[in-house]
Structure 1
Amino acid sequence: MNKVVIIVLLCMCTFTYGQNIQVESQTYTPQQLIEDILIDSNCIDNVVVTNVSGGDFGNTDQSYGYFDAAGTTFPLQSGIVLSTGRLSNVPGPNTSLSDDDAPNWLGDSDLENALNESNTTNATIIEFEFSSVASQVSFRYLFASEEYQEGNSNTCQYSDLFGFLIKPANQQQYTNIALIPNTQTPVKVTTVHSGIPGSCAPINEAYFGSWNGANTPINFNGQTTVLTATADIVPNETYHVKLVIADEQNYRYDSAVFLEAGSFELSTNLGPDRLLANNNAVCEGETLELNAYQNGQNTYEWYRDGVLVQGAQTGCGTCGTYTVSQPGTYTVEVGLANSCISYGEVVVEYSPNPIVFDSVLIECDQNQDGITYYNLFDASQDVTNNDASLLVTNFYLSENDALNEVNEIPNASNFQNSNPFQTVYARVENENRCSNIAAVELQISNNTLSIPNAEACDGEIIDGFGEFDLTEISTSFEDQIPTGATVQYYETEADAFSETNALSSPYQNSTAYNQTLFVKVTTANNQCYSIGTVALEVLYTPTLLEDETFIYCLNTYPETITLYGGVLNDSPSNYYYEWLFNGNSTTVNTSFNNINEVGTYTVIVTDPNGCSASRTITVEASNIATIENITIEEGTFNNTISVTVSGEGMYEYALDNGAYQDESVFYDVLPGFHTVYVKDKNDCGVAEQLISVLGFPKFFSPNGDTIKDTWKVYGTNEQFNRGIDIKIFNRYGKLLASRNHLTNGWDGTFKGKALPSDDYWYLVTLPDGRTYRGHFALLR
């Protein structure tokens, strides 16, 4: 390459350095950007740019170019940048949205195929070829995007694409080397971020650089850390590289990739960084062999933190491996042909081995034969001293097996010891899988519990099943167990040992009247203190009649009715009685209660064992009816009677000797005297009233047979003195007689002479002014 030309060109270009990076697109040709800026090495040969494409902004701007970050906080000092928008929109501050498009700006199918994506647009591409004497090359880069949006769920869903695609020049298939370290995952917004609360969790957060505020050297919302792309190659073979970045789905929200100047170099892979943050640090006391060996007559210079630790000066200039025994940044310079040097670097951190504690695990043994079952993981808290960062991975019968991770105990959560005081070994690991071994001595508890029987009354249904307060049972023997111990109840001994199917409180017995539960007491450090039993007994509870309702007749007050406690199938003499009236206590404490008030009575019947049952007796009011009014529609042979009553009862009605009915109206009532009856359906009595219904005979026959010898109005007598006036006329209107209701009627004579058979007319006038007119026949 022509170094002189490069110097001259650099002198022709000036930049104003400040807090933001500077970019420009005119000074360097694409060939110079790749050969002289990105590569700048005599050990990488035959560099030829074969294709460049990007956004067409009318020759005033491009979508790729040179950047200079000297004097800024940007982690790369200079290099080349490829964007999905205008180059001029790349520098900070981050106060505007880079959201560019250009005519006919297409995507790239090679990128889509390599990343298994589709529908790209606005692709910026630089392709070049090279060859090298090395077996590996690498370069450093940083990805930034407007699609990084802090707190916005879009960050979880959308991402532009970029790839560093490489292949042998004579082949078709590309390989993407822009990957998250030690994975095959492409680097993009959705694969590298610190998480969006409520939307998506952090992913590969160790490689996320920052969310960018306004005072940022570049005009993008977020960026990754500086990453390294590495490719294995065949020495002296020509390779084709395609650097490409593109928007996906649409042109919105631009992205950019920055490639560090001079970072495209020969490299030697020393393996991934061994970091505490990545949970792959080297364990305390272990060594790590770094291997940089390559075929050929090569030399190797090894450095730790910049200080030579192995090489020609130490007598091992051809040693292709180095054994690490302490933390540091290790680099190797491999001297290749043509005086070229291949560089390798790896950061090695050491993780301390877990601090563990030998412990004792105590389990209970019901038959005290020294053989029982242990959940070995119950010792985890003691072994790790409650360090949540440590994990007991498994248990082993010997320390050597634990160290070598062989012959693990297959069912450590239900392990049966082979002898009293047997020792097993726990393997404990931290996040870096660094381990330590702790001995766990298995012992048998000889503690016993004296638990008094637990009693409970039968439930509402007398069937031998009741509810037991397990907490109350625990209180009954708390003076026998250590402070802070846990008490659990189980239906079977097997459940107690395996700590499965623990019972909750309140507990209803599953066997009628009597049952035994197993009680396991565990100390604060998860050791079995003792396993005992408690006997459950369901006590006898009185059986009472069902709730009832009675009627009290108010018209009988102060007479009383008797309510009974209602105990079934037993003598009531041995029970205690309490009577409540409308929820309030009374002084009545007998098996019966004489009452004369309506309301709600509750009787509580208690057995001498303290178990009670209750029932409710509701006393409702009723009363004999008060007849308020009887309305009579009269004067015909189809008369109507309507009865109006008051009272607390439910009533039915009857007329004379007729059947009772719910309706209070009677139809087609004949004239004359009638008795109305009103009966309380709750048997509180019958009210009655005599009534008269006026009526007028249609004929009479004064022939001396004493049957209808006179014409007189029905429904009148001395009791029903209506004060009515009766006048009788012949067909010509001549007044023949004038009578009142107290007379014996008209005998069919006028001035002592018998009148002939004929129709005669009457006019009846009542005191209230009502009148009745009609005619009747006189029959001889």
Structure 2
Amino acid sequence: MKVKSISLIIALLFTLLNSAQNISVDSQLYTPQQLIEDILIDSNCIDNVVVTNVSGGNFNSAEQSYGFFDASGTTFPFESGLVLSTGRLQNVPGPNTSISDDNASGWGGDTDLENVLNESGTINATILEFDFTSVASQISFRYVFASEEYQEGNSNSCLYSDLFGFLIRPTSGTGQIEYENIALVPDTNTPVKATTVTPGVSGSCPPLNETYFGSYNDSNAPINFNGQTAVLTAIANVVPNETYHVKLVIADEQNYRYDSVVFLEAGSFQLSTDMGPNRLIATQNAVCEGETLELSVNESGAPSYDWFKDGILVDSQPSGCVNCGTYTVTEAGTYTVEVGLANGCISYGEVVIEYSPLPVVSDAVLIECDINQDGLTTFNLFEASADITNNDNDLNIRDFFLAEAEALSYTNPISNPQNFDNSVASQIVYAFVINDANCYEIAEVELQTSNNMLIIPDLLGCDGDIVDGFSDFNLSDIEVAIQNQIPLGASLDFYETEDDAFNESNALPNTYENTMVDFQTIYVKVKNGNQCFSISTVNLSVVYTPLLEADETVYYCTNLYPETVRILGGVLNDLPNNYYYEWLFNGQSTSVNTTFNEVNEIGDYTVIVTDPNGCSSSRIITVSPSSSAIIENISVEGAAPNNTVTINVSGDGDYEFALDDVNGDYQQSNVFTNLNEGFYTVYVKDNNGCEILEQEISVLGFPKFFTPNADGDYDIWTVIGENPQFSLVETVQIFNRYGKLITVLNPSNLAWDGTLNGTDLPSDDYWFVTRLLDGKQYTGHFALKR
């Protein structure tokens, strides 16, 4: 039992501690009149407070969209106050573990809010309206805006925001006076929204008024909203003792999703005194070093003034004093004033004053080129900026002046500082330099001229393979040629005209093709930092590259290895010895540097021919293999005239064939047909120029008749194409028409005289059978005529 009691106590303590970390809200504890008069205002110096209208969500219960909040014991910046929401009041307290996303039937928007903010489509508007009268000339109150629209890292945060406004106007006057919205980003006319006070979203939108953004809220936040602003102050200037109407309104935009709230601090609606805007470095209106600032306040009647710096009383001016209400600031700090008004009321004012150091500047000398050398030229005064500001990017040169007095009074600035013509040599002008706080200093700029003329050799460009008088020039080579004439680290730019060089317009690229055939003059501008050192001319001259024979193929007779073949550089229209040579074999450098190259290897030989100007041409000689033919065999099939001769060869060449005439007609075919009997010389030619080979052949033939009559013509019958060099026949048998063997001839005697055993045989047809040594056999017949 004791254990259970202890556990229950611990659980209750944990619940109480957890609740204490979050704000609490109540819609019934105070009436709307009490919320305004007793909670928000709570001052006897603001009179005639009357709530005139209340409107919010209808949730069919006692729930409201506005009410009292208590934040004591939490990290919320206000202890208590009044809260207005675009959703249920009960969803305002933390922790921040859910989306406040409420709606109610028939819950409309507000046209006054839309008109003042120039927006449309509001719904779910919560409104509290009241009248009041003040004895001071200004009222103010403190507030915090919070919203689910603040979504860390989400690009939607850049686009969407609910709307709210603190609208005020006097109740007296002719006609309907327009509302003024005082829920503004400090020192601007910008309404406070999730999109106007934001740390930005990387890649989607930049920060805006980030100084006034409070925080993104984690799950342990005391309120149930994703983000909130810092504490902001709404300020309204009023006419003392006149009645004003205030409309506090907040509304969803376009739809009910992602609710927003505005918290108004209890007791913060009070009298205030206008001390002028904060003077901050961040807002670029800080007081400049060495200056004083007079704070001046003005309240009606004969008030007293107590001035404080950083909470310490520094001056006190009694009621009724003459020329009171001013205080001279000489140093940075937070300055407050308490103005004692009638009936014991006190109006409070506060302003933050920061001092900005003056710009650190240096006097400068600006040098521009003087083409006609009369000491007068045109200057771009802003080219002295880096020297004047010491390269401080936070400084800005606003204008230049002819006289120091004009610069100090900021009168008669030079109208054309980017094209300023000096009137005298070494003229001095004055730069008006400001920093981010608009504090200024004056710097002198002495205008000097330069007339350094450079000696620049012509820049040669080699014409290409197409000889047309144009070339690509590497203009950076000019810098190398004049290094000893220009300051170390100087910059060079090139231009087609003198005007372009002077105005630094249309600079040429480092690789530039001339626009005039063969010869062109361009301009180089040399600058030392931002100072012109020289404008000089450069001649571009196109020189022709060596003219070479076309690429070619040369054949090497491999059967002659290691003999060499000579290949040439191929220079045309000039003496080869006027050039330099470099030979490459298959892309690799060799030691050969002569006009020719003796080679015996197959491959690609590249020759690079360079003239004395450094212009080069190249060509490729491809050395391909060839060779004289190797005759493997010659086949003779058949006897004349019905025969075929086939010449079988091998080798790397391209071969053609001819018979008997080395200079005769060659044929691509290696076959000859229907040759007459007899002896032939076969020629095999390589079309690539290697040696012609020849070989003797014999074509056998058998006479069709003979006349053995001792007249010296056809007296014997014999095999034609047979001799001791070409001994092809083994035997020849001769038969009469009846098949009787008459005689047998052999290589030692292949002739028959028409006799048998010394007796002449009669005229008749006789038959023969010829057997060759290779086994072939020919048969036929012939006539013996007497």
Q: Is the 8 A contact 1:541 1:613 kept in 2?
A: no
Secondary structure in structure 2 of the residue aligned to 1:206: helix
Q: Aligned pair 1:155/2:157, yes or no?
A: yes
Matched with 1:283 is 288
Distance 1:723 1:213 in 2: 120
1:374 offset after TM fit, Å? 2.3
Amino acid paired to 1:191 = T
Secondary structure in structure 1 of the residue aligned to 2:411: coil
Distance 1:48 1:678 in 2: 127
Q: 1:656 to 1:97 in 2, by over 3 A?
A: farther
1:236 offset after TM fit, Å? 3.7
Matched with 2:571 is 567
1:265 to 257, 270, 282: 270
Secondary structure in structure 1 of the residue aligned to 2:397: strand
Q: 1:670 to 1:328 in 2, by over 3 A?
A: same
Secondary structure in structure 2 of the residue aligned to 1:401: helix
1:142 offset after TM fit, Å? 1.4
Number of aligned pairs? 746
Structure 1 stretch 165-174 or stretch 354-363: which is displaced more?
165-174
Matched with 1:301 is 305
* Correspondences of 1:553-632 after superposition (within 5 Å): 553-554=556-557, 555=559, 561-573=565-577, 575-582=578-585, 583-587=588-592, 589=594, 591-607=595-611, 609=612, 611-621=614-624, 622-626=626-630
Q: Is the 8 A contact 2:149 2:260 kept in 1?
A: yes
1:187 to 189, 192, 210: 192
* Correspondences of 1:136-535 after superposition (within 5 Å): 136-157=138-159, 159-164=160-165, 166=167, 171=176, 176-231=181-236, 236-237=242-243, 239=245, 241-246=247-252, 248-249=254-255, 251=257, 253-286=258-291, 288=293, 292-293=297-298, 297=301, 299=303, 301=305, 303-305=307-309, 306=311, 312-313=317-318, 316=321, 326-332=331-337, 343-445=348-450, 448=452, 451=455, 453=457, 455-456=459-460, 458-461=462-465, 473-475=478-480, 477-479=482-484, 481-505=486-510, 518-524=523-529, 526-528=530-532, 530-531=533-534, 533=536, 535=538
Matched with 2:29 is 28
Q: CA offsets, 1:49-94, max 9 Å, x none?
A: 432326x3x7586544333333443322322233445545544454
Stretches of structure 2 that go unaligned for 5 or more consecutive residues are 1-14, 709-718, 734-738, 751-760
Secondary structure in structure 2 of the residue aligned to 1:178: coil
Q: Is the 8 A contact 2:684 2:692 kept in 1?
A: yes
Secondary structure in structure 1 of the residue aligned to 2:426: coil
Matched with 2:76 is 74
Matched with 2:133 is 133
Q: Is the 8 A contact 2:556 2:565 kept in 1?
A: no
Q: 1:84 to 1:565 in 2, by over 3 A?
A: same
Distance 1:219 1:634 in 2: 117
1:354 offset after TM fit, Å? 1.8
1:209 offset after TM fit, Å? 1.9
* Correspondences of 1:606-755 after superposition (within 5 Å): 606-607=610-611, 609=612, 611-621=614-624, 622-626=626-630, 646-650=650-654, 680-684=686-690
Q: Alignment RMSD, CA only?
A: 5.7
Matched with 1:9 is none
Amino acid paired to 1:549 = E
1:416 offset after TM fit, Å? 1.7
Q: 1:89 to 1:228 in 2, by over 3 A?
A: same
Amino acid paired to 1:131 = D
Distance 2:165 2:318 in 1: 39
1:237 offset after TM fit, Å? 4.1
Structure 1 stretch 271-280 or stretch 619-628: which is displaced more?
619-628
1:549 offset after TM fit, Å? 0.7
Distance 1:165 1:387 in 2: 43
Distance 2:218 2:363 in 1: 52
Q: CA offsets, 1:90-112, max 9 Å, x none?
A: 44454x23244355374525355
Secondary structure in structure 2 of the residue aligned to 1:46: strand
1:53 to 54, 57, 60: 57
Q: CA offsets, 1:722-741, max 9 Å, x none?
A: 999999xxxxxx9999x999
Distance 1:335 1:243 in 2: 33
Q: Is the 8 A contact 2:110 2:251 kept in 1?
A: no
1:241 offset after TM fit, Å? 1.0
Q: 1:400 to 1:268 in 2, by over 3 A?
A: same
Matched with 1:544 is 547
Q: 1:331 to 1:549 in 2, by over 3 A?
A: same
1:179 offset after TM fit, Å? 2.7
Secondary structure in structure 2 of the residue aligned to 1:192: coil
Amino acid paired to 2:47 = C
1:427 offset after TM fit, Å? 0.2
1:614 offset after TM fit, Å? 3.7
Amino acid paired to 2:688 = N
Normalization by structure 1: what TM-score?
Answer: 0.75
1:266 offset after TM fit, Å? 4.2
Q: Is the 8 A contact 2:165 2:248 kept in 1?
A: yes
Identity over aligned residues, as a percent?
Answer: 48
* Correspondences of 1:51-130 after superposition (within 5 Å): 51-53=55-57, 56=59, 59=61, 63-94=65-96, 96-102=97-103, 104=105, 106=107, 108-110=109-111, 111=113, 114-117=116-119, 125-130=125-130
Distance 1:633 1:244 in 2: 119
Q: Is the 8 A contact 2:161 2:195 kept in 1?
A: no
Distance 1:375 1:38 in 2: 61
Q: Is the 8 A contact 1:133 1:336 kept in 2?
A: no
Distance 2:267 2:49 in 1: 14
1:407 offset after TM fit, Å? 1.8
Secondary structure in structure 1 of the residue aligned to 2:267: coil
1:489 offset after TM fit, Å? 4.7
Amino acid paired to 1:378 = E
Secondary structure in structure 1 of the residue aligned to 2:198: coil
Secondary structure in structure 2 of the residue aligned to 1:195: coil
1:419 offset after TM fit, Å? 1.0
Distance 1:488 1:297 in 2: 73
Distance 1:665 1:533 in 2: 76
Amino acid paired to 1:434 = C
Normalization by structure 2: what TM-score?
Answer: 0.74
Q: 1:190 to 1:126 in 2, by over 3 A?
A: closer
Distance 2:275 2:732 in 1: 141
Q: 1:638 to 1:255 in 2, by over 3 A?
A: farther
Q: 1:587 to 1:435 in 2, by over 3 A?
A: closer
